[in-house]
Amino acid sequence: MLIQHHSAEADTPTDVEAPAPKLPAIAATADALLDAAMLKRIQPEAFSPHALGRLEDLVLQLARVQSAGHLPLDLLVFDSPQVLVFAADHGISDEGVSAVPQQATRERVQQILQGRAPINTLAETMGFDLTVVDAGVASHVVEAGAAAPSVPLLVRKIGYGTRNMVLGPAMSLAQAISALQAGMDVVRHLPGNVLALGDVGVGNTSCAALLLSRLCGVPLADACGRDHPIPGGLDNTQLQNKLEKLSAAASRHRKAVKPLDALAALGGFEIAMMAGAMLQAASERRVVLVDGFVAGAAALVARGLCPPVADYLVFTHRTIDPGHRLMLIHLQVQPLMDMELRVGQGVGALVAWPILQTAQALLEH
Amino acid sequence: MLIQHHSAEADTPTDVEAPAPKLPAIAATADALLDAAMLKRIQPEAFSPHALGRLEDLVLQLARVQSAGHLPLDLLVFDSPQVLVFAADHGISDEGVSAVPQQATRERVQQILQGRAPINTLAETMGFDLTVVDAGVASHVVEAGAAAPSVPLLVRKIGYGTRNMVLGPAMSLAQAISALQAGMDVVRHLPGNVLALGDVGVGNTSCAALLLSRLCGVPLADACGRDHPIPGGLDNTQLQNKLEKLSAAASRHRKAVKPLDALAALGGFEIAMMAGAMLQAASERRVVLVDGFVAGAAALVARGLCPPVADYLVFTHRTIDPGHRLMLIHLQVQPLMDMELRVGQGVGALVAWPILQTAQALLEH
């Protein structure tokens, strides 16, 4: 198959004239003294080290986030946990890269707003406040004159969906920076010290695969591959088409290698906002629960912009996307769970939340 | 290395004169109509099938256990969840197959009885009643005249540790049957419809590896292997010694191929009791939470004795034992979590418990 390469230099964003985004200061959390003190408290007697496995690692990470260098840390305290669901549409949907039509984004958002989606159940069960952010859905999410939704909706539209990145950059650098700032701004106005992030957006696993490929050097065929057919998913022909379209986009924007440039060329509004939300939350020493593949792509961008953010991110769930497995390897993290969810919305983050509460309980006793 | 083979036929238990154990009747739970009804209730709109991944499988399994064929099932109900910790010692400890000395069994049991072990914290946090069963610790667990433990202890000692299975069968068939019956008996007197099973017993991963090898045909070197050195675990020489000792035991008891015979020759008192507990719990349609490698070996035995028991078992956690991964593959199950715990006690089962509560919540809404 011959892929047409248009001259792409002209419309690929680069940082030549880019205003640098204002990023908050984030402190790395490494603290060997604290680690030793915490391990001493939680390791059971009459067992060899690391008997509590990755629960120990989790306790240490959470303690580092919450200690702010003030020894001794007595207890982990989780206060007013928040879940933010960022929704947006993607121009690349025009290329037939998704198994569901673009309007499913709006339908899924409306279900959440009406309290009928899995994330509503989970937020209620786990005691999270749920907020939906319209980062750029391709239509009005709420009709004029419709009843007010039962879940708060913040309309922070950067656009009505991104542009088709096969034809040009998904967004301008200015839009990418606006989206980052909007994500920060949303978090700044939320209470609590725990933030879970989820996404809704048909086509956004294409962005995640492209960002993974670009920022980690993973071959695109692996980043958007598939281990086995998924019922209701893409068939082999459609998958081949997706790979060709993503290859065309990657080729067109081959100069967009810096995190911000890659985000603008290959990302999405919800991904940019999640990255901003992670940066802001980390700067405020909140624990950040990262859901699946798409939120993981936002984490890649955030880490590229400000590496210490990684200390604050708890990767909660591995989705069935094969690219997600590679992404987590590149991030050098193991997720807390692997339940094969592919519902987005932050559901994975909230299913895993009780594990953090267990870590908290182990430290209390 | 030359392994001496003694004539083993005389002392290997076989079923020639064995009294058959009285096993309770267990009904298989498969119910396609129920599955369809449940899926319809939990699958989110505007998503392709299986969007909730293995959470859906869990909902179906729990619904089948609780429905008893009476459609419609409205809700999952979890009533008075119990966690049973079975403790015993193993004669094969004499062969240097464990990184910790045999007396660690008693120390760990005493920690639980005094409320200082991780399982105490978890039982309290998750609302489980905790009971310890002395299935055959090699000493008195509670000194005469000592203060009453804060956690209930049932003394159902079959013996003061099993025999060294390199020299003879771990237990007689009569002992194996007594232990099975004791496990059933303990469960029969417990309330509730959820039962978590954990174990304490230095040397019991040797039994688990041997039972895995014997009942599933896994090469012993794989069943007791190691992916990477564990701090405080066996070094390479010790691991080689363990493999040689287990090979000698397997060779001596090569005729013990039926589940009950294998249990007697290669098992342990706590493993036999857990198998009995699983069978009784399944016959009463309780949900059974199976912790790590050793409880998994009990599940292998229970399934061998009565295959429908498998429908009631929820495998909660994969330990770091490489044999456990193979065991779960042979059982054709995926565990809910993989937190690298190696503390036993049922900790993995209780860490995973909130996932069942999430399944319940998804069905409620």
pLDDT in tens, A108-132: 999 999 999 999 999 999 999 999 9
Looking at per-residue pLDDT, the higher value among B240 and A213 belongs to: A213
Ramachandran category for residue A292: left, alpha or beta (phi over 0 → left; psi -120 to 50 → alpha): beta
Q: Specify whether the CB–CB gap between A297 and A309 falls below 8 A.
A: no
Q: Which of A317-321, A348-352, B348-352, B357-361 has the lowest mean pLDDT?
A: A317-321
Considering just the CA atoms, what is the radius of gyration of chain A in Å?
Answer: 20
Q: Does residue A44 lie in a domain region?
A: no
pLDDT of residue B8: 42
Q: Do A118 and B233 touch (CB under 8 A)?
A: no
Range A173-199 average pLDDT: 98
First to last CA, chain B: 63
Confidence of residue A72 (pLDDT cuts 50, 70, 90): low
Does residue B97 contact residue B241 with C-beta atoms inside 8 Å?
Answer: yes
Residues 230-269 of chain A whose Cβ lies under 8 A from any Cβ of chain B: 230-233
Q: Cα(B260)–Cα(B11) distance, rounded to whole angstroms?
A: 15
CA A1 to CA B69: how far, in whole Å? 55
Residues A53-72 have a mean pLDDT of 88
Cβ under 8 Å to B: A residues 48-87: 48-55
Residue A304's CB is within 10 A of a number of other CB atoms, namely 18
Asked whether the predicted pLDDT for residue A11 surpasses 60, the reply is: no
Note whether A355 and B351 are within 8 A (CB). yes
Is the residue at A216 inside a domain? yes
Cα of B248 vs its chain's centroid, Å: 24
B49 found inside a domain: no
Q: Per-residue pLDDT averaged across A235-251, rounded?
A: 92
Residue B346 placed within a domain = yes
pLDDT in tens, A304-349: 999 999 999 999 999 988 899 999 999 999 999 999 998 999 999 9
pLDDT at B149: 82
B219/A70: higher pLDDT: B219
Report the alpha-carbon distance of residue B358 to residue B161 in Å, rounded: 40
pLDDT exceeds 50 at position B140 = yes
Which is higher by pLDDT, A236 or B103? B103
B362 lies in a domain? no
Q: A135 φ, ψ to 5°?
A: -85, -15
State the Cα–Cα distance between residues A310 and A299, nearest whole angstrom.
8
In angstroms, rounded to a whole number, what is the distance separating the alpha carbons of residues B179 and B185?
10
Residue B132 within a domain: yes
Residue A274 has pLDDT above 90, yes or no: yes
Q: Is pLDDT above 50 for A145?
A: yes
Q: Considering only residues 94 to 123 of chain A, which have any Cβ-Cβ distance to chain B shorter than 8 Å?
A: 99-100, 104, 107-108, 111, 116-118, 120-122
Residue with tokens 């008192």, as numbered in its chain: B269
What are the phi and psi torsion angles at A282 (to 5°)?
Answer: -65, -40
Total tally of structural domains belonging to chain A = 1
Mean pLDDT of B76-100: 94
Question: CB within 8 A of A242, min separation 6: which ones?
Answer: A95, A96, A97, A206, A224, A234
In a domain? residue B19: no
Indicate which CATH number applies to the domain containing B248. Answer: 3.40.50.10210
The strand pair at A82-88 and A287-290 is best described as unpaired
ipTM score of complex: 0.91
Burial grade of B316 (CB within 10 A; 0-12, 13-18, 19 or more): buried
Going by C-alpha positions, the residue among B348, B18, B22, B298 that lies closest to residue B185 is B22
Which structural domain, as residue segments, surrounds residue B332? Answer: 80-353
Q: Indicate yes or no: CB of B365 within 8 angstroms of CB of A120.
A: yes
Percent of residues, chain A, with pLDDT higher than 90 = 77
Q: What pLDDT is recorded for position A329?
A: 96
A5 near B CB under 8 A: no
Nearest by Cα to A312 from A36, A67, A47, A52: A67
In terms of C-beta distances under 8 Å and separation of at least 24 residues, what long-range contacts does A35-44 make, across chains too? A35/A60, A35/A63, A35/A64, A37/A71, A37/A72, A37/A73, A38/A63, A38/A73, A38/A363, A41/A363, A42/A362, A42/A363, A44/B111, A44/B117, A44/B118, A44/B343
This prediction has a pTM of: 0.92
pLDDT digits (tens, 9 = 90+) for B184-236: 999 999 999 999 999 999 999 999 999 999 999 999 999 987 656 666 778 88
Asked if the structure places residue A27 within a domain, the reply is: no
SS3 call for A184: helix
* Contact status of A191 with chain B (Cβ, < 8 Å): no
pLDDT at B350: 98
**pLDDT per residue over A287-304, tens digit each?**
999 999 999 999 999 999
pLDDT in tens, A198-216: 999 999 999 999 999 999 9
Distance from CA of B6 to the nearest CA of A (A): 35
Mutate to test the interface with B, among A126, A343, A363 (most CBs of B within 10 A): A343
List C-alpha distances in Å: B184 to B59, B160, B202, B277, B282: 26, 20, 23, 5, 10
Mean pLDDT value of segment A279-292: 97
Least confident range of A166-170, A183-187, B222-226:
B222-226
Model pLDDT for residues B1-22, shown as the tens digit of each residue: 444 444 444 455 554 555 678 9
